[in-house]
Amino acid sequence: MTLPDLALQIVYARLGWAVVAASIVAALWRGPALTRPVLAAILGGALVAMLLPGELSPAWWLGLAFQYPSGLLVGCCALRLHERWHGIRRSRAMPHTLAGVLVVCGTLLYLDTFGLLARGFYHAGFWPTLAPAIAALGAAACALAIVRGHARSPASAMLGAIALFSLLRLPTGNLWDAMLDPLLCGWAVFTLAAGAVRKSGRRASDRLAGNQEAPLAPVLQPAPLEQFSSVKE
């Protein structure tokens, strides 16, 4: 087991939480247009707040609640800020495929952590042979996806998280902590739920449109009275 240096953990936590906080503020922004100067001010304000000493820093309280942000969460948030910087509203930082994988893996890991499965999944992230092997395979897969142009944004974020773990063992020395955390899992669940709601809404609108475009059954018109022969008295 190789643990990261405590000083590196502190610096990483401050910088990582600043990126995450700025991304959340940008996502919830309802004020004037989110121009580049405004976005830069948000990121700068988040960084200054996180660098405050001791309990004055929001990073202190976030660390008590969530420990450290995963490298993948920081990478996805950095990608989202990059998209907003360039005026891209539809994000590619959390595609549905990645969200589904994160939800499944997160569920298994958290059930194991709470003792409901007790299979040692989380502790496998500390193993000196298995964890580096999985990291190497993941890095190769991400590099291949980037070269081929498949899901470059999430692949880049994942590759950055793997590199952070492989080179500096951040954030905790556990491979799963570099790839998952509660906030990232919550983001993935929200992405899947929002996608399901949009899909059901599209289906309902398609059914309504189909009913409106269906031809109406012909209405039988009564024959005019002149067609009937007059009755002789």
Is the per-residue pLDDT at 54 higher than 80? yes
What average pLDDT does range 117-140 have in this prediction? 91
Predicted model pTM: 0.86
Max Cα–Cα distance, the chain, nearest Å: 116
Residues whose CB is less than 8 angstroms from the CB of residue 165 and which lie 6 or more positions away in sequence, other chains included: 71, 135, 175, 178
What separation in angstroms does the CA of 211 have from each of 198, 200, 201, 216? 20, 17, 15, 10
**pLDDT of the residue at 74:** 97
Q: Are 222 and 130 in contact (CB under 8 A)?
A: no
Q: Which comes out higher in pLDDT, residue 200 or 226?
A: 200
Please tell me the predicted confidence (pLDDT) of residue 2: 79
Q: What is the mean pLDDT of residues 201-219?
A: 66
Mean per-residue pLDDT over the chain, rounded: 88
- The encoded tokens of residue 132 equal 């580096």
**Total residues belonging to the chain:** 233
- Tens digits of residue pLDDT in 92-124: 889 999 999 999 999 999 898 888 887 888 999
Q: What does the angle CA 81 – CA 15 – CA 159 come to, to the nearest 5 degrees?
A: 65
Q: Where are the alpha helices (DSSP H) in the chain?
A: 6-27, 36-50, 58-66, 71-85, 96-113, 130-148, 152-168, 175-179, 182-213
pLDDT tens-digit readout, 156-181: 999 999 999 999 999 999 999 999 99
Q: Which of 61-65, 114-118, 202-206 has the highest mean pLDDT?
A: 61-65
Residue appearing with tokens 């401050």? 14
Tokens 């495929």, residue located: 97
The answer to whether the beta carbons of residues 192 and 99 sit under 8 Å apart is yes
Q: Is the pLDDT of residue 212 over 50?
A: yes
First to last CA, the chain: 115
How much of the chain exceeds pLDDT 70, in percent?
89
Predicted local distance difference test score (pLDDT) of residue 231: 45
Do 39 and 85 form a contact (C-beta atoms < 8 A)? yes
